[in-house]
């Protein structure tokens, strides 16, 4: 199994190109199930989760073609011949975003059988909001042998759906389904993440009628059919935030090419308070420390436009060597502190009390063999490794392959001493 070795202490200098967002590309690819016309997405990141989604769509009968031009990948999808409306357990278990095929399949094909995803490393993560919302649009849904079995032989009908809790995935599933429902749908208390706005823009490009982009109230007027589109995937704000923290933790100076400041306002605000300077450039965002040490700042994760849960582990790594204390509170997922014991093994001082972690800055971290059980926890250990004294060996690299395109290349091009080892040695 591959591992990553990092020799800490190098300062990052130069530039890093931000990829298209994984969490935008995954729902976008599902729109292929809504039309028989060809759809092309540019700037699709080369990630394990994208491969899983490609395999799932192919199993439904979608034709998928991938093209590389320079470092950018475009993916063309054509769902003119859907042959199978089942999303099997083996694929859904691998990647929860597979549940995003449910809305499009039932909206256009009148039926879907999608495995229930079950819990995962960061929490129980139910899909009740996806199911209830689709039922409100008229789908008949049963749970049979671990599968969500949905039927709407006469199509879906628009309705007013008020989400009791903000959910990115449920908003995306309902938005896609409502695009083809008869009449008007209101999604109230909808998630406002930029990936949802990107999905809405793509759907509008396909002929959907959607108002309220970027707000918590989306109004969708259903149409009979949708057509093809050519859509570029929005920049990955979580990748941009992660590299901004890598720059800050190493006291570096890097331009993040393609990073969009307006998508990470809550992140730059926290980091600015901690002593990091951001300046917009014609190509993106330049990051460096204001001067001197980082200082501890309190952070609470919230739905967009709040501080993203997907950057909580990374900001915790950043705070481990800051001056003073930092209280980090996770409000989205109930079990997203798996990085804490590993950071502690590297010398960090962190105490967890319920949903909050108190980080007391230490003078230095030391390298250690570490591993984590999810994507963002894993990358937080990479950040810690970049500043730790000595070698950090990160196991279970496959988590990083799910969400960070060419991570070791991007960091080593800026001077980090980081390499991937594929010697097959035991964890």
Tell me, yes or no, if 202 is annotated catalytic: no
> Are 416 and 9 in contact, with CB atoms under 8 Å apart?
no
What tokens does 350 get?
């962190």
Contacting ligand EPZ (CB under 6 A), which of 1, 71, 84, 128?
128
Smaller CB separation from ligand EPZ, 108 or 130: 130
Quote the CA–CA distance of 76 and 246 in Å, as a whole number. Answer: 33
DSSP 3: E
Smaller CB separation from ligand EPZ, 96 or 113: 96
Question: How near is the Cβ of 63 to ligand EPZ at its closest, in Å?
Answer: 23
Site size for ligand EPZ, by CB under 6 A? 24
Terminal C-alpha separation, the chain = 8
Quote the CA–CA distance of 143 and 134 in Å, as a whole number. Answer: 14
Quote the CA–CA distance of 91 and 114 in Å, as a whole number. Answer: 10
Smaller CB separation from ligand EPZ, 57 or 388: 57
> Applying CB under 6 A, does 123 fall inside the site for ligand EPZ?
yes
Question: How near is the Cβ of 85 to ligand EPZ at its closest, in Å?
Answer: 21
Smaller CB separation from ligand EPZ, 232 or 347: 232
Question: How near is the Cβ of 58 to ligand EPZ at its closest, in Å?
Answer: 19
Q: Which of residues 21-40 bind ligand EPZ (CB under 6 A)?
A: 23, 26
Contacting ligand EPZ (CB under 6 A), which of 150, 170, 346, 365?
170
> Applying CB under 6 A, does 283 fall inside the site for ligand EPZ?
no
Q: Which of residues 316-335 bind ligand EPZ (CB under 6 A)?
A: 332-333
- Candidates 52-60, 128-136, 220-228, 338-346; binding stretch for ligand EPZ (CB under 6 A): 128-136
Burial of 312 (0-12, 13-18, 19+ CB in 10 A): buried
For residue 6, what are the CA distances in angstroms to 126, 321, 383, 386? 36, 17, 10, 6
> Applying CB under 6 A, does 126 fall inside the site for ligand EPZ?
yes
If you search the block for the tokens 């129980």, which residue do you land on? 124
> Applying CB under 6 A, does 217 fall inside the site for ligand EPZ?
no
Phi and psi angles of residue 17, each rounded to the nearest 5 degrees, phi first:
-85, 125
Question: How near is the Cβ of 171 to ligand EPZ at its closest, in Å?
Answer: 8
Smaller CB separation from ligand EPZ, 23 or 52: 23
> Applying CB under 6 A, does 197 fall inside the site for ligand EPZ?
no
Q: Report which secondary-structure segment, H or E, holds 247.
A: helix 237-249
Burial of 42 (0-12, 13-18, 19+ CB in 10 A): middle
Strand pairing category for 299-300 and 356-360: unpaired
Quote the CA–CA distance of 242 and 286 in Å, as a whole number. Answer: 14
- Candidates 3-11, 127-135, 347-355, 382-390; binding stretch for ligand EPZ (CB under 6 A): 127-135
Question: How near is the Cβ of 227 to ligand EPZ at its closest, in Å?
Answer: 25
Query: DSSP per residue over 315-356, as a string?
Result: HHHHHTTSBSEEEEE--S-TT--THHHHHHHTT-EEEEETTE
Q: Which x/- pattern, by CB under 6 A, does the window 82-111 give for ligand EPZ?
A: --------------xx--------------
- Annotated active-site residue in 30, 78, 120, 202: 120
Question: How near is the Cβ of 374 to ligand EPZ at its closest, in Å?
Answer: 7
Quote the CA–CA distance of 146 and 184 in Å, as a whole number. Answer: 32
Smaller CB separation from ligand EPZ, 276 or 377: 377
> Applying CB under 6 A, does 167 fall inside the site for ligand EPZ?
yes
Question: How near is the Cβ of 67 to ligand EPZ at its closest, in Å?
Answer: 24
- CA-based R_g, the chain, Å: 22
Q: Is the dihedral of CA 346, 400, 121, 174 positive or negative?
A: positive
* Positions marked active-site: 120
Residues that bind ligand EPZ (CB under 6 A): 23, 26, 96-97, 123, 125-130, 165, 167-170, 191, 309-310, 332-333, 375-376, 403
């Amino acid at each position: 199994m591959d591992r990553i070795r990092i020799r800490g202490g190098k300062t990052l200098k130069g530039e890093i190109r931000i990829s298209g967002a994984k969490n935008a590309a995954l729902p976008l690819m599902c729109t292929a199930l809504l039309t028989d016309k060809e759809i092309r997405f540019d700037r699709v990141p080369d990630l394990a989760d994208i491969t899983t989604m490609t395999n799932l769509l192919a199993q439904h009968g979608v034709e998928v073609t991938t093209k590389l031009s320079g470092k950018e990948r475009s993916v063309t999808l054509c769902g003119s011949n859907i042959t199978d409306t089942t999303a099997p357990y083996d694929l859904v278990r691998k990647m929860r975003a597979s549940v995003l095929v449910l809305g499009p399949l039932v909206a256009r094909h009148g039926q879907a059988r999608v495995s229930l995803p079950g819990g995962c490393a960061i929490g129980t993560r139910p899909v009740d909001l996806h199911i209830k919302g689709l039922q409100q649009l008229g789908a008949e849904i049963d749970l049979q042998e671990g599968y969500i079995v949905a039927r709407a032989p006469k199509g879906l009908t628009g309705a007013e759906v008020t989400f009791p809790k903000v959910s990115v995935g449920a908003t995306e599933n309902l938005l896609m389904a409502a695009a083809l429902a008869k009449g008007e749908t209101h999604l109230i208390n909808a998630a406002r993440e930029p990936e949802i706005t990107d999905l809405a823009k793509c759907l509008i490009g396909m002929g959907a009628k959607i108002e309220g982009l970027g707000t918590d109230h989306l109004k969708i007027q259903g149409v009979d059919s949708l057509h093809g589109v050519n859509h570029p995937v929005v920049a990955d704000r979580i990748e941009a935030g992660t590299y901004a923290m890598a720059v800050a933790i190493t006291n570096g100076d890097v331009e993040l090419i393609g990073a969009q400041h307006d998508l990470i306002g809550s992140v730059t605000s926290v980091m600015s308070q901690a002593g990091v300077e951001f300046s917009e450039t014609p190509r993106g965002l330049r990051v460096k420390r204001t001067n001197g040490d980082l200082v501890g700042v309190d952070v609470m994760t919230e739905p967009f436009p709040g501080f993203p849960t997907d950057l909580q582990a990374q900001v915790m790594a950043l705070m481990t060597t800051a001056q003073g204390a930092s209280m980090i509170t996770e409000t989205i997922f109930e079990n997203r502190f798996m990085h804490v014991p590993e950071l502690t093994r590297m010398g960090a001082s962190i105490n967890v009390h319920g949903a909050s972690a108190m980080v007391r800055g230490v003078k230095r971290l030391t390298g250690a063999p570490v591993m984590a059980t999810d994507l963002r926890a894993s990358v937080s250990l990479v950040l810690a490794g970049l500043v730790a004294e000595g070698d950090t060996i990160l196991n279970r690299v496959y988590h990083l392959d799910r969400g960070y395109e060419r991570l070791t290349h991007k960091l080593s091009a800026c001077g980090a001493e980081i390499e991937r080892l594929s010697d097959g040695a035991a964890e």
